[in-house]
Amino acid sequence: MAEELVGNCLISQSGGPTSVINASVAGVIAEALNNSCIEEVYGSLNGVLGLLNEDFVDLAAESQQAIRGLRYTPGAALGTCRVKLKKPADFERTLEVFKAHNIRYYFHVGDADSQESAAKISELAKAQAYDLRVIGIPKTIENDMPATDHCPGYGSAIKYIAATVKELSLDAEAMGQGDLVTVVEVMGRNTGWLAAGASLAKRRDHPSPE
């Protein structure tokens, strides 16, 4: 079992703002506050931008009611960004900030690009012999991250898409014309999980006529 590190915790969000991204943060905060090895719990405002600029908020100072409320709150409580760490100088700056604030636990909530950055931060910390635990928390509606089955974010997105497709089919049925075609475009990048999941709109007890 990995040795416990005594120090502070930092949480950041990146990618699209959703209630899922806030629910993940709420879980991290609640668990971090229950661990004696974690002395302070910080949030990085607007993802890696806040990290690079040392723009932090003290999450331990927030009320438990506010933290629990994040589980049902849309948006991104800590703010988010579409910025990706690319330059070696950015990663060096990140580690400098961690050392300055004694960050020993870093939780990064986001998509595949975000997890790639988190992995590189971990590698740099090891190279510099700085004890750091980097934990990537997946969040993407595309469901395109390795080693996950149903990635947080996908379930709520596909529920919305399936409901939309069902409503469109009912509209077409109400028109009394069987030759109507509706094209629905969904996100997905290089994967088709959202498009495939639209088939959930089909009812097993009411199959479409041939």
The pair of structure tokens assigned to 90 is: 């950015």
The answer on pLDDT for 200 being more than 80 is no
Contact 151, 145 (CB under 8 A): yes
Query: 121: closest CA among 146, 153, 86?
Result: 86
Q: How far apart are CA 6 and CA 95, in angstroms?
A: 17
The answer on pLDDT for 111 being more than 70 is yes
* pLDDT category of residue 204 using cuts at 50, 70 and 90: low
At 135-150, the pLDDT tens digits run 999 888 888 877 777 7
Domain boundaries for CATH 3.40.50.450 within the chain: 7-138
The predicted pLDDT at position 17 comes to 80
Q: How far apart are CA 85 and CA 88, in angstroms?
A: 8
Query: 29: closest CA among 64, 79, 81?
Result: 64
The residues with which 41 forms a beta bridge, in sequence order, are 9
What is the reported pTM?
0.83
At 67-77, the pLDDT tens digits run 999 998 888 99
Q: What angle do CA 39, 36, 134 make, to 5 degrees?
A: 65
- CATH code for residues 7-138: 3.40.50.450
